[in-house]
Amino acid sequence: MTGPAGDTTAPAVFDLIRRHLSPGLALTGSFAGRGAVEASADGCRVTLSDGRTALDFGSYAVTLLGHRHPAVVAAVGDQLGRMPVSTRSLASPVTAHAAAALAGYLGGRLPKVCFGLNGSDAVEIAVKLARVATGRGRVVAVRGGFHGKSLGALALTHSPLYRAGLRGAVVDVVHVRPDDAGAVAREAARGEVAAVVFEPVQGESGARELPVEVLRRWCADAARAGAFAIADEIQCGLRRCGERSVALAEGLPVDAVLFGKPLGGGVMPLSAVVCSEELYAPLAADPFLHSATFAGHPLSCAALPAALGAIEELAGHGRVLAAALDAELEGLRRRHPGLVTAVRGRGLLRGLDFAEARAAGGVVMELAGSGLLVSPCLGRPTTVRLLPPLVASEADVAEAAALLDAALTAVGRRRTAGEATA
CA distance 317 to 337: 30
Q: CATH 3.90.1150.10 region(s) of the chain? A: 7-67+314-421
pLDDT at residue number 419:
63
The CATH class of 7-67+314-421 is: alpha beta
Which pLDDT band, with edges at 50, 70 and 90, does 19 fall under? very high
Average pLDDT in the 46-53 region?
A: 96
pLDDT at residue number 248:
98
Average pLDDT in the 53-70 region?
A: 97
pLDDT for 236-276, tens place per residue? 999 999 999 999 999 999 999 999 999 999 999 999 999 99
CA distance 98 to 104: 10
pLDDT at residue number 3:
54
Which residues lie below 8 Å from residue 20, measured CB to CB, with a gap of 6+?
none
Which pLDDT band, with edges at 50, 70 and 90, does 149 fall under? low
Which pLDDT band, with edges at 50, 70 and 90, does 373 fall under? very high
For helices 119-134 and 277-285, give the axis angle rounded to 10 degrees: 80
pLDDT at residue number 169:
53
Q: CATH 3.40.640.10 region(s) of the chain? A: 70-310
> What CATH topology corresponds to 70-310?
Aspartate Aminotransferase; domain 2 (3.40.640)
Which pLDDT band, with edges at 50, 70 and 90, does 167 fall under? low
Average pLDDT in the 162-173 region?
A: 62
Average pLDDT in the 6-32 region?
A: 93
> Between the CA of residue 282 and those of 9, 112, 227, 258, what are the distances in Å?
50, 12, 15, 18
Average pLDDT in the 74-87 region?
A: 97
pLDDT for 206-240, tens place per residue? 999 999 999 999 999 999 999 999 999 999 999 99
Greater model confidence, 290 or 379: 290
